[in-house]
Chain A
């Protein structure tokens, strides 16, 4: 990473994973995700605006705009102020950079909710959560705590780097190929262009942990197996498909390769189940547990990094002009996306400092769905409230309701809320 001394001239390269996003992204394939925090009172826009500005001064990492180089995109300091506006559209829309003062994130509010939408080339979920938490802390301090004590502020001091975790752990010698099996893709009548349906399924996290533990699984394994079974029952069976269900599960690399980076630091594992061979829930869960054990290792993650970086580090590709790269990558990436049925991202429990907890109700996470991966799923938890969210571009809600039914049959109470599309 290169930095100039003067802030106004500072620039940096995109990390090796992020390089792909602006190349692959189109207005249909948005590579945007949203993290929301729901407070217990209505949001005051003026205070929110101040909170974002204060947070941005602390997280200068986010104060950038993306520019085109001859061969790659790069980030440079963004001198403009971010735009804060009321939510008046569907979630995870394509961030139109010129209309957003060139920022790669967007803050909106609605009733009690603050939304942070981020273009994935800037960062991943874990850093985005830190940024949203900082905005929320600032907001609560300004509105309720008459500004924080020095002790609280000190406790929240941020230290981050812009290290490229992929380059650091890239091993050229690892030779492996990506499994190029096309996955089952959900069918159904598409919603009108731009419309995204959202369904949040609320559960008690202790209860989910208890049920998962009784089956010898982690929460992610348990919910992945339930999602696969729901897709099997509501999709594969109905369409009489012979293809496997493949769930892409993002993994936070910082847990395996310690780093303080705020850049993207995630990889993924693919959980592949041929439901034509394994169709009972208990067998699916057994297979999911087995695959998690096999694939969630440093060695396997290094292989995935190597596969993804080999292309970006290809000396011939490096010197191809950006516009040609974009053309090729956007076409190729549409094919790659056919290797997954859906994505299930679990960011886990979001921890909040005790002083701020009384003002926060819940957190929500959404990933932009698109025409190939028509639904995207996320899990996050705050205190005892766990939220399994679906963002979808199809009218049918069969998978969403099937999952609810499955969980309830296992003794987990599920409440549903959404945007009523």
Chain B
């Protein structure tokens, strides 16, 4: 054999189709929930816009062959800032803190788990960024959960996802992570 067997094109196209269908179904469900709940706030539009944005970002990330973990971190921070700005502009009802940013953090952590599973051989490239993502997520969730006057249910779910992600890292990739941290922080 001259070349390694990488995911076949047909398989990757099928996976893409499945994800597209899932995105559409989730979007419709969000719209229905938003309509049924008769909320004054059209939060589902923001969520659907986020899904579309994630699609564009994913296509961009794959196309540019960037460091996926670094890109996820960058996206997580930039998306959080963007959502906060939208909330602030529309009267600062604090949905960015209790809904928007936790969803971004949740998606980032799940993305990292998927990337780690799919591209485990390249984990050394992702380890440092994954730690930053987890660290940022946990700090944010702890602060918001403690400070929020609303029900911080989404923050608590997000916190558990982060802790699960951290556990995965520590169980399966501890050695790589330790080495990477030694490299980055050596004096």
Q: Which residues of A contact B (CB under 8 A)?
A: 27-28, 38, 86-91, 93-94, 96, 99, 110-111, 113, 191-195, 198, 200, 364, 395, 417-421
Q: Which of B1, B62, B63 contacts A111 (CB 8 A)?
A: B1
Are A96 and B67 neighbours in the complex by a CB distance under 8 Å?
A: yes
* Alpha-carbon separation in the docked complex, A178 to B13 (Å): 41
A-B contact pairs, 19 of them (CB 8 A): A27-B64, A27-B65, A28-B64, A86-B4, A88-B121, A93-B65, A94-B65, A96-B65, A96-B67, A110-B1, A110-B4, A111-B2, A192-B12, A192-B13, A193-B59, A194-B62, A194-B65, A195-B9, A418-B2
Nearest CB in chain A to that of B3: its residue: A419
Are B2 and A419 neighbours in the complex by a CB distance under 8 Å?
A: yes
* Alpha-carbon separation in the docked complex, A111 to B1 (Å): 7
* Alpha-carbon separation in the docked complex, A198 to B4 (Å): 12
Are A113 and B64 neighbours in the complex by a CB distance under 8 Å?
A: no
Nearest CB in chain B to that of A108: its residue: B4
Interface residues of A, dominant DSSP: loop
B1-20, CB under 8 A of A: which get 1 and which 0?
Answer: 11111101100110010000
Contacts A110-B1, A111-B1 aside, 12 further interface pairs with beta carbons under 8 A come to: A27-B64, A27-B66, A38-B2, A86-B4, A99-B125, A111-B2, A113-B2, A192-B12, A192-B62, A193-B63, A194-B65, A420-B3
Q: Which residues of B contact A (CB under 8 A)?
A: 1-6, 8-9, 12-13, 16, 59, 62-67, 121-122, 125
Q: How far is the CB of A399 from chain B (nearest CB, A)?
A: 18
Q: How far is the CB of A155 from chain B (nearest CB, A)?
A: 31
A419: B residues at CB distance < 8 A: 2-3, 6
Nearest CB in chain A to that of B13: its residue: A192
Are A87 and B63 neighbours in the complex by a CB distance under 8 Å?
A: no
Q: How far is the CB of A418 from chain B (nearest CB, A)?
A: 8
Q: How far is the CB of B64 from chain A (nearest CB, A)?
A: 5
Are B9 and A193 neighbours in the complex by a CB distance under 8 Å?
A: no
Q: How far is the CB of A206 from chain B (nearest CB, A)?
A: 23
B64: A residues at CB distance < 8 A: 27-28
Are B65 and A395 neighbours in the complex by a CB distance under 8 Å?
A: no
B67: A residues at CB distance < 8 A: 96, 99
Are B3 and A91 neighbours in the complex by a CB distance under 8 Å?
A: yes
Q: Which of B3, B12, B13 has the most CB of A within 10 A?
A: B3
Q: How far is the CB of A419 from chain B (nearest CB, A)?
A: 4
Nearest CB in chain B to that of A112: its residue: B2
Are B125 and A395 neighbours in the complex by a CB distance under 8 Å?
A: no
Q: How far is the CB of B176 from chain A (nearest CB, A)?
A: 14
Q: How far is the CB of A50 from chain B (nearest CB, A)?
A: 21
A86: B residues at CB distance < 8 A: 4
* Alpha-carbon separation in the docked complex, A200 to B59 (Å): 30
B12: A residues at CB distance < 8 A: 192, 195
Nearest CB in chain B to that of A364: its residue: B2
Q: Which of B2, B16, B59 has the most CB of A within 10 A?
A: B2
Nearest CB in chain B to that of A89: its residue: B6
Are A110 and B63 neighbours in the complex by a CB distance under 8 Å?
A: no
Nearest CB in chain B to that of A28: its residue: B63
* Alpha-carbon separation in the docked complex, A419 to B122 (Å): 21
